[in-house]
Amino acid sequence: MVLTLLAAIFVFGLLVLVHELGHFVTAKLTGMRVREFAIGFGPQIGSVQKGETLYSLRVVPLGGYNDIAGMDPEDQEAGDRGFSTKSVPARMLVILAGSFMNVILPILLFFGIFFFSGVHTPNPEPVLGKVLPGKPAAVAGLEEGDRILSIDGRTISTWKDFVSTVAAADGQTELAVTVERDGQTLTKGVTPSYDSTAKHALVGAMNDAIITHPGLVESWHLAVESTWRVIRLMVDGLYRIVLELSGKDLAGPVGIAQMAGEAAEMGLVPLLNFAALLSLNLAVINMFPLPGLDGGHFLGLCFEAVRGRALSPKALQVAQSIGVALLLLLMIYVTRNDIFRALHL
């Protein structure tokens, strides 16, 4: 529980810090006045005033914000340093910078992982890698490095054989897993548990990996390629969700915190990988053209550029109200998903 909480705070805090830093830096560079740079919501834990900006840390680490003067066109306190007084390209830059930083972060994380930890290619042979504590494999006494020979007398030749055999289990019946360890043959009784997210039985073990260590330039190229590949997969996945009108696989803060905890149990590299994936997820979703998201704000600026004038304050208020309502409905829905997963419903 403590590890899950710390992992969630680390992941959410890192992503929010990077996202809001993008808005903050570009706002400053374009001459806008930033009254407050906040990480988190709710009551302040601490704050420090530096020049015209208050830097604050707040209780709930599930977001953050920049209080940029003039975001409301009727707010003229900052004069020509207000957001609404700046050119459309300058405002577009500020709006896009948050998601842009959420793309840069994964590139840097992937680069660090590849360069310092190496590239882990799954071993096709049925050899156990990381065995998660408290999961069926660990409870049964299986260990990292064990080679799976057979399950219930059925020969296992590849890791794919092992995964498919476990996945076909009913999540209640014990399996006789025969392994080779240090030249000895051992048989362990393992009862796979059904995982509602994966939709099949699991034993809580990863396969062994073949590790290669790329150089500096190759690590950077691999990081960029990996980031682009993940973005394509995410866009395709979101497209399928919209096409099928099914969001049962979406997770909210509770589910994300749980996944962060599970990643942290596997080590620092899996946690950083998870942070990179979540950062890209945030970048993609935040650019949806919906009121209340950066994508919706950017779309409004596009209309302004075409029309030659901004939307009326009333139209902006209506759009923002609709956006907030939609986001609240989405939050309720994904929280429901999180609860159902936790209860295995």
Backbone angles phi, psi at 42, to 5 degrees: 85, -165
- The catalytic position among 20, 74, 77, 180 is 20
Q: For residue 284, which of 243, 338, 218, 230 has the smallest C-alpha distance?
A: 230
- How many separate helices (H) and strands (E) can be counted in the chain? 9, 12
Strand, helix or coil for residue 129 = strand
Q: For residue 96, which of 151, 27, 34, 194 has the smallest C-alpha distance?
A: 27
Residue 221: CB partners within 8 Å, gap ≥ 6?
Answer: none
What DSSP state is assigned to residue 127?
B
Q: For residue 79, which of 50, 48, 52 has the smallest C-alpha distance?
A: 52
Residue 260 has a CB neighbour count (10 Å cut-off) of 24
Contact (Cβ atoms closer than 8 angstroms) between residue 252 and residue 338: yes
Residue 64: CB partners within 8 Å, gap ≥ 6?
Answer: 16, 17, 19, 20, 38, 39, 40, 41, 58
218 is catalytic: no
Residue located via tokens 């936790």: 342
Strands of the chain (E only): list them. Answer: 34-50, 53-68, 119-122, 128-131, 147-151, 154-155, 175-181, 184-190, 193-195, 200-202, 205-207, 209-212
Crossing angle for the helix pair 268-286 and 88-112, to the nearest 10 degrees: 160
Active centre residues (catalytic): 20
